[in-house]
A and B are shown apart, each in its own frame.
Chain A
């Protein structure tokens, strides 16, 4: 993993962990994300909501493109 990827990976992991731990949205083991037949990533609503925040504007595209290889 390149250094610039590590920055974004740490931020994305923090969002995922914050969502899972802090929001209680995953008590029923809701998937973190799903893949369509064409391979497109769809994050769960709580994670997508956090990614949509203005502060994560530079992260959202990276998250969709790299979550599969990250996890």
Chain B
């Protein structure tokens, strides 16, 4: 005895029901379907995406990461893979990481015919929340998130093209704005905020 059924009328229908950005690619990495959250995340229209590849629509470094994931799956080492890609806030230089979960689409004989990928926005939302909550500047946010990623001060300075003294100055202001006195306190407070 049943009271409700769901019939799949098209792959687009399936993706449209999902709140996270989601895409379907064919075996050559060509977009065959994607949902509106994905289009919003990359700032493009459906017509600009369908029929194209990551290399044609995304920044080169990002496309390279996606292509490497596709190649890993095509090598039959696994049917799914999770990885992270850097994102950059539009009109700013704030960096963050977005998780991608990608699985292979297979035919009845097991042959790979394409890929389905879902994107997490949790990290992105978290970064934006922290930046807004403590009124951090773009550069302060860059330093904070780089510290959280475990990068040493020298690496942060090199990545942001600033001196280590300037990084230290940003760290002092970050501590003041967040209300902590040490990196240990900072990590604890951020961890608590991440859970909330």
Contacts and interface: CB of A to CB of B under 8 A. Distances in A.
A33 B102 CA distance: 23
A3 B120 contact: yes
Give the interface SS of chain B, mostly helix, strand, loop or mixed. Answer: strand
Contact of A31 (B1, B6, B104, B115): B6
Nearest to B17: A71
Interface core residue of A14, A16, A37, A42 (most chain B CB under 10 Å):
A14
A13 B6 contact: no
Interface string A56-67: 000000000000
B11 A17 contact: yes
Contact of A1 (B19, B79, B108): B19
Contacts of A71: 6, 14, 17-18
A18 interface: yes
B5 interface: yes
B23 to A, nearest CB: 10
A9 B80 CA distance: 11
Nearest to A12: B103
A36 B118 contact: no
B4 interface: yes
B3 interface: yes
Interface residues of B, number: 37
Residue from B8, B17, B113 with most neighbouring chain A CB atoms (10 Å): B8
Nearest to B122: A3
A17 B122 CA distance: 25
Contacts of B118: 1, 6, 9-10, 13
B101 to A, nearest CB: 4
A34 B20 contact: no
B106 A30 contact: no
B2 A26 contact: no
Given A1-B118, A18-B105, 10 more contacts: A10-B101, A11-B103, A14-B106, A22-B106, A35-B3, A35-B4, A35-B5, A36-B1, A36-B2, A71-B14
Q: Which 8 A-B pairs have the closest CB atoms?
A: A14-B103, A31-B5, A10-B101, A22-B107, A34-B2, A10-B118, A14-B116, A7-B101
19 contacts: A1-B20, A3-B82, A3-B99, A6-B118, A6-B120, A7-B82, A10-B101, A10-B116, A11-B103, A13-B22, A13-B103, A14-B103, A14-B115, A14-B116, A18-B107, A21-B11, A21-B105, A21-B107, A34-B4
